[in-house]
Homo-oligomer: A and B are copies of this chain.
Amino acid sequence: MKKNDILTPVGIALGIGLIFYAISQGGTGVGIFIDIPSFLITIGGSFAAVLITYDLETVKKIPSALKMTIVSVNVNKVDLVDQFKELSKIIRKDGILAIEQQITEMEDPFLKKGLELIVDGVDANDVKEILEIDLNEREKVYDSSSKIFKLWGSYAPAFGMVGTLIGLIQMLADMGSPDEIAAGMSTALITTLYGAFFTNLLFNPLGFNIEAKGEKEIEYLEMVVCGLQSIQNGDSVRAMEEKLITHLNEKDRKAYYENTSSEVA
């Protein structure tokens, strides 16, 4: 159900490419921009701040948070309307127990769980409460993953500045010829560059990427909850369809109406 979010690597590649292009415009080679100590101070130092902020359990989630940024949330709202309509028709014809077969074949664990609760005859209020806690729990996963990168992105430029200040102070304390000073200044600025670069091409965009995906999934899950409540209320197929379509944006509505009319035809 999950596809790759190809734009994440494309954007990173484009951003790095443009930086190399920018460097190639100047007279110097790429060499002077690659400085392991500067990298360690900026990225290592800000990672140390991340370690202080979080406990081991949260730090261990960074790889899976990274994975979230390159996988897209495949939420087909148009298909969901059809799926609910179909379920509703079966229930109206053969009763609630008749959808057990459909449930077994479903992939989305949230929808599956909701339907199972309904089929098990769990009280409507309890179903609602359970789904809301579940939705809340998923929202927290996105929020906390997004926040790790955003915090990292707030520490990195600070450590870039710390690196530059250390270089500056050393240079000023021990002044040699103007040429040496300029070279020292040049090196000192590299940590600031690293801080700005990693924060604005990686940490912040990745943090906002996860945030946007979270919003998208939550919208989808709210639509699922709406459909499940519609089933439990015993809404007519028409009423359920009306409610679910409202969750679609303009483009999806058009797609839905085209699908539906072509089916009829």
**Does B56 lie within 8 Å of A6, measured CB to CB?**
yes
Contact residues on A (Cβ < 8 Å of other chain), bracket: 35 or more
**Does A54 lie within 8 Å of B212, measured CB to CB?**
yes
**Does A193 lie within 8 Å of B208, measured CB to CB?**
no
- Cβ of A58: which chain B residues have Cβ within 8 Å of it? 212
A151 at interface (Cβ–Cβ under 8 A)?
Answer: yes
Contact flags A22-66 to B (C-beta < 8 A → 1, else 0): 110111100011000100110011111111111110110000000
A interface SS class? helix
How far is the CB of A215 from the nearest CB of chain B, in Å? 8
A100 at interface (Cβ–Cβ under 8 A)?
Answer: no
Stretch of A78-86, A89-97, A165-173 at the chain-chain interface: A165-173
Q: Give the one of A27, A51, A72, A155 with max B CB within 10 A.
A: A51
List 8 additional A-B contacts (Cβ < 8 Å) besides A11-B49, A19-B41, A52-B201.
A11-B50, A26-B167, A26-B171, A28-B173, A33-B166, A49-B205, A155-B205, A162-B197
